[in-house]
Structure 1
Amino acid sequence: MTASLTRPQDVADTATTRGFVPKVALSDREDTARRLLASVARKSYDPMIEVDWEAPIPDDKYGMTPEWSTLYGTALWDEMTEEQRIELTKHEAASVSSVGLWFEILLMQMLLRDVYNRNKHSRHVQFALTEVADECRHSVMFARAGERLGMPGYGPAPYIHRLGRLWGGFFRGANAYASVMAAEEILDMMQRDFMRDERVQPVTRTVSKIHVLEEARHIRFAREEVTRRLTGASNLRLQFERINTAVTVYFVVKSMIREEVYANAGLDRDRAVAEAKANTHYHDRVRKSGAKLMTFLDSVGLVGGPSKILYKKVHLL
């Protein structure tokens, strides 16, 4: 990008002599975009072709890896029949997918706003637009998967859905990329298990595989943008970025499994909610799987102060 195209929001890209300096290596923005675009050319997926949407839904397959169920390891889980466990995991998988769909839409809005005033000839913008195309396909894929499993369209709670509209309209730069990256990594850490688990429904496994493989590029893109835009950040700005990212992560994790899944699976909702909230097995699994994400957030200065309280509430710390 030439000097004539540099804008105030790009100053932090090279400001390494003042303010915060992340403890991670950083590649040139255009070089990263070129490599990612080359990766897209080598391997991308069309879910409408790659997923067999007409295949039967086996009665003996879980909706997702059972160890990821919020009730796995509880007394209630031990009391449930195998059919009840399978039904519950189908609802939980549909809830996870619907939240992924909701956040993909927010991500597309953020990316389009971010590149609106940038040089469209740059590889950076071209990869961002490519990512929007990927996310469009992923959104349709998540919607189709929930429909194929015959599940309700859960999505986040209504008040979180409304907050998403505000988030989509006001947040910019590092805080937006950090929030999106964190949300994508949370989904990614679950789906890596889903796609390898032969006990899981074929449609869930294929959808998870496509999302994990294509999101690896998106996460790389977002991580570098977060690092680049926080370089040189003042302490005041870091505090803002920390709390904004933590709030987003908190709401995404809290939204993953809607409480309605328990009643819809034929369980006592109040008991199921209580046991899920106290389920140390699930909490430990989230903490262990999210360790890589939290290490990165800490390395770029996004873990500290009040943000730690929110991460602990959703068991990432």
Structure 2
Amino acid sequence: MSTASPPTSPLDGAHAPDDDILRYRAPRWLPSSHAQTIVPALFARRPVVAYRRERWETPDHDFIDLDWIAHLDSAAPPPDAPLFVLFHGLEGSSGSHYALAMMAAARAKGWHGVVPHFRSCSGEINRLPRFYHLADSAEVDWILHRLAAQHHGPLLAAGVSLGGNVLLRWLGEHRSDTSIVRAAAAISTPIDVHAGGRALSQGFSMVYTRSFLKTLKRKALAKLVQYPGLFDREAMLHAVTMRDFDEVVTAPLHGFANADDYWTQATTRPLLPAIDVPTLILNARNDPFLPEWALPGPADVSPTVELDQPAHGGHAGFMTGPFPGRLDWLSARVFGYCSKFVDHG
């Protein structure tokens, strides 16, 4: 299948030798950023991954569900094989297209793999009067430390979109604790939440906002059944943009003064120079969730951070091949990077 012309940005594979970089080129049949975002999520062939679910009680008496790759006994990795941890995006889960692709890749490499669900994202509403949010590095800290304590091999962490943002925040804020992770990857991360929020509030990108709000409002209504009067029901139902919803629900439930305060505190760009774990930050320059001008450059990150900013890919897309397309490029890029920092495969 013919592909688009190679991107020319100096950040397309920055900080790494050319022969080590798997460069992304979008298929010609996916010409736009929106097509490169929507088609992978809705139409791509998804690998089949069997999961084993485990429920953890949280320190604050809530719960989260983790989905582990269910290996056949004959193909189970050794206990000291690498563990690949994937934090999903807004309203995502272990069934999201990118999660299935990367868990299938982990299985193929003989690694352990797990997708921890943020609260309310596993198919069951959580107990407490809260959900999850872009700045919740404390949740990631607790999850990764518990996984590190019980796993005998190297730990590698990745996050997509919201999950990538929370992971980057943890890497920048918890420097004394991040040695438990050998390497990390953040994919399609909205590192400037104000810029991303504005991008999602205009034009065709409102399609994504409406999709998010449909499930977020459903969860919010369920939370009001648990906690009547927790927030303004009518204001929540009338929310049109992510800012509207965050102003009424996300910010007050998680200790922020308002949506602006939440978005400012959730923005990870100022923390990127503090990251001291090898970290890949992958953003398409045509991501409809974040304008190109908001992406970091080499001067904005620490020497341990590798930036890869291909011209195309959309948001968490990076599809290849003829229609209906394949999802293997993203896994190859992430696992190719992470494999450099472990002794296995």
> Normalized against structure 1, the TM-score is what?
0.30
Q: Which has the higher contact order (CA 8 A, sep 6+)?
A: 1
The structure with more strand, counted as a fraction of residues: 2
